[in-house]
Amino acid sequence: MQRSRFIIALAVAFGAMTVALAIAGALYNLAILAPAGLFGAVTYLLWMHGTGRLAARVYRRVEQQAATNGGPSGPSGAAETRRQESTGRTRRSRRTGSRRTTDRRRGTSATRPDRSEPEEMSRREASRVLDVEMGADQETIKRAYRERVKDVHPDAADGDTQAFKRVRTAYERLEE
């Protein structure tokens, strides 16, 4: 998951309110510490969500539960395994390192991001994704983006959602 600047900014605002309430509670009335604790909890959850750590923790727990149960088990896990075996295949993408299940009947794919993938893209990597030189002007970047996005757009026949997001992230990085 990519970082959300808005959610992180909200976490910072709630953190500032938490500190202000904690100081006011310590100086004036201990009853003010109860809302400070609530604001602290909200701050923590917003920060975890904004940085993508909350989703990573959820994925990790689901994977641990699946490993404890011996892989995908239960009605939904077994059904998912049968669906993958009958309609497609599961493989690791060489390019992104993410696990991908391809549905051969519909030509769609569901990609789950790998936690080892970096959350932010460097300008050099963004240039490689869009296949432009490091010092390219904005017009060249925009033209390369438009050409590249035609190939990977999820609505295209060979479209890939993760690749589309990666191209869009690269464009946003170089657009700065």
Domain borders along the chain are 5-54, 123-175
Span of 42-51, 73-82, 163-172 with lowest mean pLDDT: 73-82
Q: Whole-prediction pTM value?
A: 0.38
Say what the pLDDT of residue 160 is.
Answer: 84
Which residue has 């400070």 as its token pair?
36
Average pLDDT over residues 104-117: 45
User: Can you give the pLDDT at residue 19?
Assistant: 95
What's the average model confidence in pLDDT over 87-115?
Answer: 45
Between helices 138-152 and 123-130, what is the axis angle to 10°?
60
CATH class of the 123-175 domain in this structure: mainly alpha
